[in-house]
Amino acid sequence: MTSNLRIDGPRLLSRLAALAEIGATPEGGCRRLALSDEDRAGRDWLVARMRSLDLDVRIDAIGNIVGILPGAEPGPAVILGSHIDTVATGGRYDGALGVVAGLEVLATLREAGITPRHPMAVIAFTNEEGARFQPDMLGSFVWGGGLSLAEALGQRDADGAVLGAELGRIGYAGPEVPGFLAARAYFELHIEQGPVLEQEALQIGVVTGVQGITWLEFTIGGEPRHGGTTPMKYRRDAGLLAARINVFAHEQTQAVPDLLANMGFVRMLPGNVNVVPEQVVCTLDLRNPDQALLDTAEQAIRHFAARAAEKAGLTLAIRDLARFPPTPFDPAMIGKVEQAAGALGLTCRRIISGAGHDAQIMAALCPTGMIFIPSIGGLSHNPREFSTDADLVAGANVLLQVAYDAAMA
């Protein structure tokens, strides 16, 4: 059911700009780490926007924010979602676009005097980024029942702050049970965060699924020694093993097809220039569209690290931070996104997502579709993340079409 409705483009852009002011960084990006003061301010802004649209605003026990537009018939809702937390050096659109565009879809229907047949909702999920608390997609994972509320609330950030306490501190530990709203369909509009659409001069990415994600944390124990007096053969250098694991993981990317790997966090103790590191905590982000290849690489890295630690007289503990399998989206939803882009005269291609998204969690609950728009220079998780106004509006109009279609069906 194609509709003549269109998003109010200038208003979408001004709302995105308003949210980007919250936690704005001098480099032009955003820093709204999950459950920080900036996240609270972003949440307050979002709740005010939802209230001004007269949505039924509910907060669940993990802090997911839900704005509901009732339908003519009761029953499962068509949910539009994403997140408003960012990484420490985030941009203006990662996550924010899906939430703000979702609100604009509901605003467009309201202003047209349309009551959808089925209820509709916009959800901003807590801690999608996994930058402060792990795993990523934490709020949607709890929503979908993949992670218990108790375990999620007990997660600690790198400084030891407890998620549940932080949620209470910012006033977003809500009364609803996560997952309280049944889903009929889920759609997420997002920036691509990679270079493909821009390189191919296409306007829309029709997302076919999300690749697998494995995050590991290594804690390596050595011996603190004087850096000037201890001959090399007497050292048990935890920092050296961290470096070797990083290099080995990189080498795996040359050996295992489509494997991506990076060490994104390293903390050395005691952290003095002239002391051989006693302890290192470091992380690896491993991704692959193929679970077997992802597992192969992980096992090789675990084996290498264990053997190298033993040979060097170091202790080693490895902890899972996140583990999400590759997730294909429902073929019917892929078709609907493709059809909507075509009906709007937009060029598109099918594409697999390299980044994790709440959509991959929601895909276990209901038919799920995702829409990408181009990221200039393929940049994301970077303050220079940028998408053109025309692409932002085009993506929101595709979201409007697929959401309208699902809500009226």
Q: Name every residue whose Cβ is closer than 8 Å to that of residue 151 and which is 6 or more positions away in sequence.
A: none
Cβ proximity to Mn ion, 141 vs 404, nearer residue: 141
User: Considering the complex, what minimum distance in angstroms separates the CB of residue 287 from ligand GLV?
Assistant: 8
- For residue 131, the one-letter residue type is A
User: Considering the complex, what minimum distance in angstroms separates the CB of residue 210 from ligand GLV?
Assistant: 8
Q: Is position 194 an interface residue for ligand GLV (rule: CB under 6 A)?
A: no
Q: Is position 94 an interface residue for Mn ion (rule: CB under 5 A)?
A: yes
Q: Which stretch binds ligand GLV (CB under 6 A): 52-60, 109-117, 129-137, 259-267?
A: 129-137
Q: Decide which of Mn ion, ligand GLV, none touches 356; Cβ closer than 5 to 8 Å per partner kind.
A: ligand GLV
Instruction: Note the helical H segments in 62-123.
Output: 96-111
Binding track over 354-373 against ligand GLV, x by CB under 6 A: -xx-----------------
Burial of 266: CB neighbours in 10 Å, binned 0-12, 13-18, 19+: middle
Q: Which stretch binds ligand GLV (CB under 6 A): 128-136, 173-181, 196-204, 331-339?
A: 128-136
Residues 274-313 binding ligand GLV (CB under 6 A) are none
Cβ proximity to ligand GLV, 260 vs 344, nearer residue: 260
Of residues 212, 192, 213, the one with CA closest to residue 350: 192
Q: Is position 98 an interface residue for ligand GLV (rule: CB under 6 A)?
A: no
Q: How many residues in the shown chain lie near ligand GLV by CB under 6 A? A: 5
The H or E element spanning position 285 is strand 279-288
Distance between CA atoms of residues 320 and 308, nearest Å: 20
Number of neighbouring beta carbons within 10 Å of residue 230? 16
Applying CB under 6 A, among 39, 60, 104, 129 the residue interacting with ligand GLV is 129
Scored b (16 or more CB within 10 A) or e, 287-311 reads: bbbeeebbebbbebbeebbeebbee
Applying CB under 6 A, among 85, 136, 298, 385 the residue interacting with ligand GLV is 136
Scored b (16 or more CB within 10 A) or e, 50-72 reads: beebebebbbbbbbbbbbbbebe
Q: Is position 95 an interface residue for Mn ion (rule: CB under 5 A)?
A: yes
User: Considering the complex, what minimum distance in angstroms separates the CB of residue 129 from ligand GLV?
Assistant: 5
Cβ proximity to Mn ion, 94 vs 338, nearer residue: 94
Cβ proximity to Mn ion, 95 vs 395, nearer residue: 95
- For residue 339, the one-letter residue type is Q
Q: How far is CA 302 from the centre of its chain?
A: 26
Give CA separation, 326 vs 41, 192, 308, in Å. Answer: 33, 17, 30
Q: Decide which of ligand GLV, Mn ion, none touches 391; Cβ closer than 5 to 8 Å per partner kind.
A: none
Q: Is position 139 an interface residue for Mn ion (rule: CB under 5 A)?
A: no
Q: Name every residue whose Cβ is closer than 8 Å to that of residue 140 and which is 6 or more positions away in sequence.
A: 64, 81, 125, 128, 358, 361, 362
User: Considering the complex, what minimum distance in angstroms separates the CB of residue 130 from ligand GLV?
Assistant: 6
User: Considering the complex, what minimum distance in angstroms separates the CB of residue 165 from ligand GLV?
Assistant: 24
Q: Name every residue whose Cβ is closer than 8 Å to that of residue 125 and which is 6 or more positions away in sequence.
A: 64, 81, 82, 83, 137, 138, 139, 140, 143, 358
Cβ proximity to ligand GLV, 155 vs 397, nearer residue: 155
Residues that bind ligand GLV (CB under 6 A): 129-130, 136, 355-356
Residues that bind Mn ion (CB under 5 A): 94-95
